[in-house]
Every structure is written in structure tokens, then in C-alpha cells.
């Protein structure tokens, strides 16, 4: 009796095949095989929003193969990903292959391990229509917005533009933040800072002025600061109050998709797309030396903090054996998921805690190892005992002024022995010296320091993902695509330090949408739509009526916008530069086109001269010695090419360095990845060395 198992990913299919063994055929659909048509709207809004699905043209060969394999099999199992998209793919496959929707052939794997695969295969179920309807609703909502709104943008702004239901809200967050920054008024303020020392230590510690005459210290200018400093000249600094206590610090919970992307951004400087690529590979399975193909982490699209008892027990055993029993919490730690979390999956964790990062390092790429180490350490730390801090807060009196200082020392390191969560505002540690009430301290320095209030920071990937999650916009599977999309459409660009800044195009589009389609870019409205999708998945809301309510309001807004803007056209402002046009001598301006920014003549349309914006590197071409320029492919991927691209065709994905080759003096290049190295690209030189040297 032959059995066919259909998954989405070829690499996952390879791992699953290993665990199923003889009697099973395993094949991958490589994602969706049926979708709405590209050439037309494809939704019958007058007939209960009936979607007009078609077979995807680029999947013709795989569809043919799937039909052939299914025809030869006695049973077909649909083992696509355990989420909405996976459920929809399974549903489409059941129609394509004439499988009864009520047949118990839908299987899901939370982890690609022998146990996970065997459990999934032994618990088949029917396709869940509510999950399918939630995905269908989301797909149709996005089609309505994209297909109906994009032509409006073409007419009123520029051809080739597009709008997205969720992406437009993300752009609005970034635009609103930029407006806050531009509107921010800087205010001057001063602090009075003392460096003091006690008899018990030669080291100084910092104390800050907190009160003057019993009121909170508020110093607006240098004159006020100087008056306080003059008053304190020669004053005795006396410890007037000491408060000693103990503080327990709990570990962070294991990762969800959102927190994994945030932490990978802060700690590893990974973009969300890069994080999810490595996580997908770790979930689907890698060849571990001595073991073979195995999935190293649980499903990576989740917002649940739930952990299985087996995983918790295995972690406790490992902690006890490696660190000792004192590093175990008094009782097993349980983390509570947020109220709107989808609890179908566990938090992201290693499938086997005995696969320590060092044990599997040789089998992983650089990105896989860094991310796996992060996931493994975070999970293990979440199951360890609290860290215990001895804290001291000191109040120090000098004349009519009160200074405050605090510090802590680690009494028991607990989970911090393994992992400490990073943050955008890192906590400064440090212990105060031994102090006594009534003790007179020596003042080594007393100074007034000028400060200025700072505007809110621009979003980076980590803080934007956090904002999206906190506002209920998007779901675990969508954070990375949202960021990729708004960057690819050139509505947002990356600045130094991975900051996300709106382009002039993004600002114009957002302004238009706020004015004419406020619901589309309204945070609360979009969050409500996400909540509605969750209710549809639970079976507590009808998908057709949800679409109908949205469409009626949207259609009215579109009709009114068309009427209000009859004959009007919005212009995207150009960015002036000092670069002179090579043809007519006028200044060139930075414009935004389908492939991003470029230089165009300010004399357009009379002068149509354009040129690419390029960035010089510190390296030189190994073929002709000219400058190496940083460029971008049509998909936005950076590469490096010789400035004499017409005469010299040298290009590389590897980074040119300022460092010169010790053997021939030419520019060295850095290649990253599993086979990373520093090497000389001169064809007559063989110099190279490993990255870690």
C-alpha cells in the first residue's frame, strides 16, 4: 500500500522522508500552486466574494507531477505548514487532486524530528474550513486594496505604484514618526553631577543632584547651574539615607517570531528576512554530522509562549547536569501568552537540547549557527533560576541639596550565566562602595553638564516589528514580508544604523491615503481587521459578511476620492544636489523610480539625461586598478563593480576592504558564509586566510 506525503518545501521533504522510511513517497508543492489570477481582479464581489482561483502558470510542471504521484498512491497526506497559508495550500491540493475534504489526511508537524513527524502522522485530521476561510479573507482583502487602489495611485501620483492593506499602515507609522522628529523642539536642560568616594574605596562613584530645598531639581540654563555650583563650593557631602534590598531578575521567555526578529536585529544585526530564512532552514532540517537530516528548532511562525512538558523536563535535566541543581527554579517556569496569541504552536525552541550550539556548529552555516545559538541559549535561560542582585540606593546631602546614587552587585548569577536579553536602552551595572549612614564623602569632582532633549528615534527593524505587534498589525508570518515590501517599493529606505526613513514618495502616498482612505492607514482599523481574521479562524465570525462590510466602505471612499481629485495630480518632490548635468550643465536632482533612487536632470523634460547613484568603496578593482563602487541589483541586493564597467566587467558579491594583500599589494575582499574568508582577487595571486584570523 503506497502513501504519498505532500509538503511545501523540498528541504523539509528530504528530512521527513528520512523519518517515514519505506512505503512512503514524499514530494514538495514548493508553496502555493493555486491563487487568484494575476491578469484580472478575480473576485466576484456580487456573488458572496467568490474567488476565481487558477492554477499558477509557473507551477505547471509540479502540478503535473503531483497529479501523477497522487493517482498512483493509495493515500495522499497533506502535510503543508501548520498555519493559515499551509491550511489553504492543503485545501487547494485537495481540490486539485480530488481528495475528499472530509478525509482525515491533513497532518501537521510542529517540529521536523522523528518524534514530531511520527506524532503528526499518527494524528491526521480533516482540513479546517475556518482556517481556510481566514486565509481566503486575508487574500481577498489584500486583492481588493491592491487591485482597486493601485490604479488610483497610478492616475494621481505615478505609474507603477501599488498599495498594500497592511504595508501602508507600516509606512504610515514611519512617516508619522518622521513628522514627530521634524516637529520636535529641542529644549536645553542641565544636570549637576558629582564624583564621590568613600573611606572604604579609592574608586569614585557617580551621584546626581535630585532635589534643591526639598523640590525636584529643574535646571534650565547655565546661569542656574553655576549658581548651584557656587552654593555647593566647599560643602560636605554626607550620606543621609541608605536603602539596601535584594532584587530578583527573571529570565525573558522563549522566543516568538516577533521577539526572535527583534533580538536578532539588535544582537546580530540581522534583517527580518535574513532571520526568517535561517530559521526556516533550521526548522526544515539540516544535515547534522553523525545524525543526518534533522529539524533543529520548532515551527518558527508563532506568537505563543507555551512549552511542552517534554521540552521543559529535558531542559531541566540538562541544566541540572551542566550547571547544577541551584540553577533550577523552585518550580517549573510557565510563561503566559498574550490574549490574542495563536496557541496552536509552541514558542520557538530547540527540538533537542542536547544538540548544543557547539555540538552542531560544524554542520551549520554562519547565519544558521548564530541564530540557533540565540534560540538555544534563550530557551535554556528561560528555564533557569532567577538572578539575585544586592541593590543599594543612597541619598547624599550637601547643604540644601540632595544627591542620589544607586548600584547593584550580583549575589547569584542564575540564568545570566547563559543569556541576558538585549534592549535598545541597556542597563548600566555597577556596585556602590561600602557606605555608612552619616559618613562624610570626599568630592573628587562636581560639574554642571549641559543637555538637550532629543526627538524620538526613527524606527529600526526591531522597534518597527515591536510596534506592529503591540498595535495588533500583521501576524508572525507577515512581519518580515511587510518590511521587505515597503523597502522594495521605495516608500521607505534604510539610513545609517539600520534606521527606517520614509522617502518623499512614501510621504506623498501616505498623505494621500490619510486624506482619502483613512481606514486603510488607520492603525486601529487595521488591528480590528486582524482581530476579525482571528475570529473567522475560530469560527465565531462569518467571512463573507466581514468582506462585505469592508468592501462597501472602501468602495464609497474610492468613489469619493475619484470625484474629489478629478483632474488633479500629485507631484513627488525631487531632492536637489550639487552634481552638474553632463549634457546641459544644470543641477541634477535625486528622483525615485521603479528601481529606487537615481540622478536626473532638473531641466527635464527638455533634458532627459540620467545616471545611477553610486557609492565609492575603499577598494580597487583587481583587474584594472580603478575604483570599486557599491551598486544594487534590480532586487536591491548589494554588489560591487568596477567604475569602468564598459571597459572592465569585474563584479563581485564580496566586500572590498581597505586592507591590501601582503603578497601583491592589491585590494583584499571579504567573503562571508560557511566558507567565509579574506582573499585576494588578483588572478595571479593565491593569498587567502580564514575570517577568524
Contact 365, 371 (CB under 8 A): no
User: Do the beta carbons of residue 27 and residue 13 sit within 8 Å?
Assistant: yes
Residue 209 CB burial class (10 angstroms; 0-12, 13-18, ≥19) = buried
d(CA 627, CA 614): 11
Give residue for cell 479546517.
128
CA distance 516 to 139: 23
Secondary structure (3-state) at 155: helix
Q: DSSP letter string over 188-220?
A: EEEEEEEEEE-TT-SS-EEEEEEEETTEE--B-
Answer for the pair 351, 111: CB distance below 8 angstroms, yes or no.
yes
Give the position of cell 482583502: 141
Q: What's the Cα-to-Cα distance from 287 to each of 81, 360, 440, rounded to whole Å?
A: 21, 9, 65
Rounded Cα distance, 466 and 177, in Å: 14
**Residue of 237, 236, 272 whose CA lies nearest to 474:** 272
What three-state secondary structure class fits 175? helix
Residue indicated by cell numbers 498512483: 72
Q: How far is CA 633 from CA 231, 590, 617, 636, 653, in A?
A: 64, 18, 17, 5, 10
Q: Give the C-alpha separation, 589 to 579, whole Å.
A: 8
3-state secondary structure 545-597: HHHHHHHHHHHHHHHHHHHHCCCCCCCCCCEEEEEECCCCCCEEEEEEECCEE
Q: Using alpha carbons, select from 220, 202, 200 the residue that is nearest to residue 212.
A: 220
Q: Which residue in 19, 283, 299, 640 is the catalytic one?
A: 299
Q: Is 288 helix (H, G, I), strand (E, B) or coil?
A: strand
Beta-strand relationship, 188-197 and 34-35: unpaired
The yes-or-no answer on residue 645 being catalytic is no
Number of residues assigned to the chain: 693
Could you list the active site residues?
299
Amino acid at each position: 500500500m503506497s502513501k504519498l506525503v505532500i509538503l511545501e518545501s523540498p528541504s523539509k521533504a528530504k528530512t521527513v522522508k528520512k523519518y517515514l522510511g519505506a512505503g512512503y513517497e514524499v514530494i514538495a508543492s514548493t508553496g502555493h500552486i493555486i491563487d487568484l489570477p494575476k491578469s484580472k481582479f478575480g473576485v466576484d464581489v456580487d456573488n458572496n466574494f467568490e474567488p476565481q482561483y487558477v492554477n499558477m502558470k509557473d507551477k505547471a510542471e509540479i502540478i503535473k507531477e503531483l497529479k501523477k504521484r497522487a493517482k498512483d498512491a493509495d493515500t495522499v497526506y497533506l502535510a503543508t505548514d501548520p498555519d493559515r497559508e499551509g491550511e489553504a495550500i492543503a485545501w487547494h491540493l485537495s481540490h486539485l487532486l480530488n481528495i475528499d475534504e472530509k478525509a482525515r489526511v491533513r497532518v501537521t508537524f510542529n517540529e521536523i524530528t522523528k518524534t514530531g513527524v511520527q506524532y503528526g502522522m499518527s494524528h491526521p485530521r480533516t482540513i479546517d474550513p475556518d482556517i481556510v476561510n481566514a486565509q481566503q479573507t486575508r487574500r481577498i482583502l489584500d486583492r481588493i486594496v491592491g487591485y482597486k487602489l493601485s490604479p488610483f495611485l497610478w492616475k494621481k501620483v505615478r505609474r507603477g505604484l501599488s498599495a498594500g492593506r497592511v504595508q501602508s499602515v507600516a509606512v504610515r507609522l514611519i512617516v508619522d514618526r518622521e513628522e514627530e522628529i521634524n516637529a520636535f523642539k529641542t529644549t536645553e536642560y542641565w544636570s549637576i553631577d558629582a564624583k564621590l568616594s568613600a573611606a572604604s574605596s579609592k574608586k569614585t562613584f557617580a551621584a546626581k543632584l535630585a532635589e534643591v530645598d526639598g523640590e525636584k531639581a529643574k535646571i534650565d540654563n547655565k546661569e542656574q547651574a553655576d549658581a548651584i555650583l557656587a552654593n555647593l563650593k566647599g560643602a560636605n557631602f554626607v550620606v543621609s539615607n541608605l536603602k539596601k534590598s535584594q532584587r530578583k531578575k527573571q529570565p525573558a521567555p522563549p522566543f516568538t517570531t516577533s521577539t526572535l526578529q527583534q533580538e536578532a536585529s539588535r544582537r546580530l544585526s540581522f534583517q527580518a528576512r535574513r532571520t526568517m530564512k535561517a530559521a526556516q532552514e533550521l526548522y526544515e532540517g539540516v544535515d547534522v554530522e553523525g545524525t543526518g537530516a534533522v529539524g533543529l528548532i520548532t515551527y518558527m511562525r508563532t506568537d505563543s509562549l507555551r512549552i511542552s512538558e517534554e521540552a521543559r523536563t529535558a531542559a531541566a535535566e540538562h541544566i541540572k547536569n551542566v550547571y547544577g541543581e541551584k540553577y533550577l527554579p523552585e518550580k517549573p517556569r510557565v510563561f503566559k501568552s498574550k490574549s490574542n496569541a495563536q496557541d496552536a504552536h509552541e514558542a520557538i525552541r530547540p527540538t533537542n537540547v542536547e544538540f548544543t550550539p557547539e555540538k552542531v556548529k560544524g554542520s551549520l552555516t554562519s547565519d544558521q549557527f548564530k541564530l540557533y545559538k540565540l534560540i538555544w541559549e534563550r530557551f535554556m535561560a528561560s528555564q533557569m533560576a532567577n538572578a539575585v542582585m544586592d541593590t543599594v540606593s543612597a541619598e547624599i546631602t550637601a547643604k540644601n541639596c540632595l544627591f542620589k546614587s544607586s548600584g547593584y552587585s550580583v549575589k547569584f548569577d542564575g540564568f545570566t550565566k547563559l543569556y541576558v536579553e538585549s534592549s535598545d536602552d541597556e542597563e548600566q551595572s555597577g556596585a556602590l562602595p561600602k557606605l555608612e549612614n552619616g559618613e562624610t564623602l570626599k568630592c573628587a569632582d562636581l560639574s554642571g553638564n549641559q543637555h538637550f532633549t532629543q526627538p524620538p528615534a526613527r524606527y529600526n527593524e526591531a522597534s518597527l516589528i515591536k510596534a506592529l505587534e503591540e498595535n495588533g498589525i500583521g501576524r508572525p508570518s507577515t512581519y518580515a514580508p511587510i518590511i521587505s515590501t515597503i523597502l522594495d517599493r521605495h516608500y521607505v529606505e534604510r539610513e545609517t544604523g539600520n534606521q527606517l526613513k520614509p522617502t518623499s514618495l512614501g510621504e506623498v502616498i501616505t498623505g494621500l491615503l490619510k486624506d482619502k482612505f483613512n481606514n486603510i492607514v488607520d492603525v486601529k482599523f487595521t488591528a480590528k481587521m486582524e482581530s476579525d481574521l482571528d475570529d473567522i479562524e475560530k469560527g465565531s465570525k462569518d467571512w463573507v459578511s466581514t468582506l462585505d462590510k469592508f468592501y462597501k466602505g472602501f468602495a464609497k471612499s474610492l468613489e469619493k476620492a475619484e470625484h474629489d481629485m478629478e483632474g488633479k495630480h500629485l507631484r513627488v518632490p525631487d531632492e536637489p544636489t550639487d552634481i552638474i548635468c553632463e549634457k546641459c550643465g544644470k543641477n541634477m536632482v535625486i528622483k525615485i523610480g521603479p528601481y529606487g533612487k537615481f540622478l536626473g536632470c532638473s531641466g527635464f523634460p527638455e533634458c532627459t539625461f540620467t545616471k545611477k547613484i553610486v557609492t565609492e568603496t575603499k577598494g580597487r578593482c583587481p583587474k584594472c586598478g580603478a575604483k570599486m563602487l557599491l551598486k544594487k541589483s534590480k532586487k536591491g541586493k548589494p554588489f560591487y563593480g568596477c567604475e569602468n564597467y564598459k571597459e572592465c566587467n569585474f563584479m563581485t558579491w564580496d566586500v572590498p576592504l581597505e586592507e591590501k594583500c601582503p603578497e601583491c599589494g592589491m585590494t583584499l575582499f571579504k567573503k562571508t558564509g560557511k566558507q567565509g574568508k579574506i582573499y585576494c582577487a588578483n588572478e595571479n595571486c593565491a593569498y587567502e586566510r580564514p575570517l577568524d584570523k
